[in-house]
Amino acid sequence: MDRTHGRGQPAADANLSGALAPFSLAEMNSFQITMEQVGMIVDAAGVAVIVLGIIGATGRALLSAPPPGLDRYMAYRQNLGRAILLGLELLVAGDIIKTVAVAPTLQNMAVLGAIVLIRTFLSFSLELEINGRWPWQQKPSAR
């Protein structure tokens, strides 16, 4: 009898390793569904941070004076960049949760690796734009 766990994939209970043997198929499916939902919630939080960051940065740029030493445009870009960076971090975390906890296949891990590389490059680029230095460089000392 060919059993599946909801996605048309064969059930994993036929050849479970010793570490997973105490868990029933229903418990494993429940865990996978829960982790998928947690990953989706973290993804939604990432998108919400980006959207709210755009709204907040735009409101700050329109309604308040920029910090000393920055023009309005640069202050807006920095605030916007910070929101995007935080949102990207949450999106990466959501992808990791969904990939590792739900379906850790070699193909999914490769896709996750590519996504993390792209988002890491974007994060480094935004960090350079915001602070004028790479994340691993020390802050210039005040003289």
Local confidence pLDDT in tens for the 143 residues of the chain: 444 444 444 444 444 444 555 667 777 788 888 888 999 999 999 999 999 999 999 999 999 888 888 788 888 988 898 899 899 889 989 988 888 777 778 888 888 889 888 888 888 888 887 777 777 777 776 55
State how far the Cα of 137 lies from the Cα of 37, in Å rounded to an integer: 37
Alpha helical stretches, state H, the chain = 25-63, 72-96, 106-131
Q: What is the DSSP letter of 14?
A: G
Virtual torsion, Cα 78, 84, 88, 90, nearest 10 deg = 100
- What's the Cα-to-Cα distance from 21 to each of 3, 35, 111, rounded to whole Å? 17, 20, 29
The DSSP bridge partners found for residue 4 are: 10
Nearest to 87 by CA among 116, 119, 113, 49: 49
Grouping H, G, I as helix, E, B as strand and the rest as coil, residue 10 is strand
**Global pTM exceeds 0.85:** no
Count of beta carbons in the 10 Å neighbourhood of residue 100: 14
Helix axes 106-131, 72-96, angle to 10 degrees: 160
